[in-house]
Each structure stands twice: as C-alpha cells, then as structure tokens.
Structure 1
Amino acid sequence: MQMTGTITPDSLMSLEAYSKWRKVNQPVVMAHRKLRSVRLGEFINLQFESEMTIRYQIQEMLRIEKVFEEDGIQQEIDAYAPLVPTGSNWKATVMLEYPDVNERKRELARLIGVEDRLFVEVEGQARVYAIADEDMERENDEKTSAVHFVRFELTPAMCAAVKAGASVKLGCDHTHYPAHVTIAPETLASLAGDLT
C-alpha cells in the first residue's frame, strides 16, 4: 500500500491488485490498527486513524461493494479521507462498546455529549478537548451514538513536546464516564509520527 500523503483515485489499487496485496499485508495493517487503539475505561475505545488505516478502510469498502467506477471511488474517498491526520492533530473513531443491548440503550441515553468531553493532555500542557462529528450530528435529545469521529487539534508546542518524548494522557470528564489513561509509549510513538 503506497503512502502518498493524499488519497486520490490514482493512488488506490485496482480491485484485483488490492485482492493480491491484502492476502499478504492484512496482518501488518491489523497490527498497526491494534497499536493505535486505546481503551478508555471499560466501554470506550478510540481507534486513532492514520493514512494507512484510512487507505485500508477505503480499499476494503471498494472491495466489499465491488466499486470500480470513478464516481463510486471518489465517494468513498470523500467519506473517509477527512479522517487522515493533517500534521497538527490526531483523529480517531470513538466506539462506545456495550455488548448487552439493554445496557447499551441505557448508557447511550446517559452519555449524551460524551464525545465533547474527551480530551488529550500532553505533559506540561493544557488539555485539548475533542472536536466531534464535524461531518454530521450523531446524537439527539434521547441518546448519543455508539460511534463518533473526533479530532484533537494540538498547538506547535504540544507537537514538539510529543515528538521530544512527553507523555500524553487520554481522558473523559463526562459526569457519567470519568476515565483517563496514559497512552502507552509504543502507541504514542506511532501517534507522534502523525505530527509535523
């Protein structure tokens, strides 16, 4: 999978080429995804996206839906490419994972606004709260969604600190879901690579 910095139709593989590539390289992509996955408390998982994870997602959608026409390819790019970090931020898919359907229904009603209470805190710097769901609203008056897309916009000083080895805490200060975790060094090393 060629990383170009920008996902365009010309930078994607044909369905045939991707099918061959996938057989060999899927374990590498899955390991990369796992490395960039951070569990926050028991029920929230943040999948920090990268060009590789988004490129893979687009190729998977094209493969599953058997899309090979230009318009369909561009629609998939338009849907997913905004989730690629741009050098001063981290972007993540947030999943609220409640296996029991009744518990999920109850908790999604209690956790309205949880996506806006997620934060990262670079050692020695102020908290940065998530900018959530820029593409569309994912909650209503009765419940939040089980999936959100968030962006953490970092200052140049924060980017420099992360690249210099500062620790980073990921947290949530929602009334019904207080949690925080220090991002593991190997995960943070991968995330530091997103910053310029």
Structure 2
Amino acid sequence: MKTTGKITADSLMTLEAYAKWRKLHHGEVIAHRKLRSVPLGEHITVQFESELSMRYQIQEMLRIEKVFEEEGIQQEIDAYAPLVPDGGNWKATMMIEYPDENERRRELARLIGVEDRMFVEVEGHGRVYAIADEDLDRENDEKTSSVHFLRFELTPAMRAAVKAGAAVKLGCDHTNYPAHVTIGPETLASLASDLQ
C-alpha cells in the first residue's frame, strides 16, 4: 500500500491486492493507530489520524462494503481524505466513551461543546483550540455526539518547536471535563513526522 501522497482512486489498491496486503500488514497498521491514540482522562480518547490511517480506513470500507465502482470509491475518499493532516496541522477523531448507556446519555448532555474546548499546547507557546466538525454539526440542544473530528492548526514556530523536541500537552478545559496529558515521546515523534 502506498502510504504517502494524496489519496486518489488511482493510488488505492484493488480489493484483491488489498486482501493480500492486509494479511501481511494489518498488525503494523493497528500498532500505528495505537501509537497515535492518546487517552485524555477516563472517557475521552483522541486518535490522531495520518495518511496511513485514513488510507487504511478507506481500503477497509471498500473491502467490507465490497465497493469497486468509481462513484462508491470516490464517496469513501471524500468522506475520509479530509482527515489527512496537510503538514501544518494535526487532525484527529475524538471519541467519548461511557460503557453504561444511562451514564453515556447523561454525560453527553453535560458535555455539550466539549469538542470546542479541546486543545494542544506546544511548550513555550499558547494553546491551540480545535476546529471541530467541519463537515457537519454533531451536537444539538440536548447532547453532544460521542464522536467528533478535530483539526489543530499549528503556526510555523510551533511546528519548528515540535520538530526540535518541545513537549506537547493535549487537553480539555470544558467545565465538566477538565483534563490534560503530556503526549508521550513515541507518539509525539509520530505526530512530528506529520509536520512540515
């Protein structure tokens, strides 16, 4: 599987080629995704996406749905390619997880607006708040969604600091979910590779 460059229909594998590739590389992709997954408190996980993770997601959707027609392939690309970082940002899927259904319903009501209170903070620089759910609104007056898509735009100085080894915090300052964590060195090294 090609793992760099713009995701286009021509750069994807056929279903047959992907089935063979998947047998050999599925574990590597799962490890890559796990490396880029950052738990924030007990109930939020932020999965920083990459060109590899989104290419894999598209190929998986095509495999599961047995899509081989041009229009269907393009729909999957249109859905997932916007989550590929472009060199000046990090893009992520945020998941809010409460195993108990009643607790989940109650907490999603308490966490309205949480996606807009997510931030990254590069050592020596101010916080960068997420630009959330650019494709569609994922909350209403009663509750927020359990899944949000985030984009963190970093200045050139922030990108240079990350590449030079500055620490980075991931956090949330929502009234009902105050939390922050320093991103681990292996994860941060992977995220630094997204930046230009």
- Superposed pair shares fold, TM > 0.5: yes
Q: Distance in 1 between matches of 2:58 and 2:19?
A: 13
Report Cα offsets for 1:138-182 as digits up to 9, x if no partner.
000000000000000000000000000000000000000000000
Residue type at the aligned position of 1:185: P
2:166 match: 166
Is 1:4–1:11's contact at 8 Å kept on the other side of the alignment? Answer: no
1:5 to partner: Cα distance:
1.4
Residue type at the aligned position of 1:20: K
1:58 match: 58
Residues 1:70 and 2:70 are matched in the alignment: yes
2:123 match: 123
Q: Distance in 1 between matches of 2:60 and 2:89?
A: 25
Is 2:4–2:52's contact at 8 Å kept on the other side of the alignment? Answer: no
1:132 to partner: Cα distance:
0.1
Q: Distance in 2 between matches of 1:163 and 1:13?
A: 32
Alignment of 1:1-196 (within 5 A): 1-196=1-196
Residue type at the aligned position of 1:59: Q
Structure 1 moving runs of 4+ over 4 Å:
none
Report Cα offsets for 1:49-72 as digits up to 9, x if no partner.
000000000000000000000000
Residue type at the aligned position of 2:64: I
Q: Distance in 2 between matches of 1:176 and 1:128?
A: 20
1:190 to partner: Cα distance:
0.1
2:179 counterpart SS class: strand
1:127 to partner: Cα distance:
0.2
Q: Distance in 1 between matches of 2:5 and 2:133?
A: 23
1:31 to partner: Cα distance:
0.2
Q: Distance in 2 between matches of 1:80 and 1:163?
A: 26
Q: Distance in 2 between matches of 1:126 and 1:115?
A: 18
Name the count of aligned residue pairs. 196
Q: Distance in 1 between matches of 2:162 and 2:83?
A: 20
Q: Distance in 1 between matches of 2:169 and 2:2?
A: 32
Q: Once superposed, what is the RMSD of the aligned Cα atoms?
A: 0.4
Q: Which consecutive residues of structure 1, in runs of 5 or more, have no partner in the other structure?
A: none
Residue type at the aligned position of 1:25: H
Residue type at the aligned position of 1:3: T
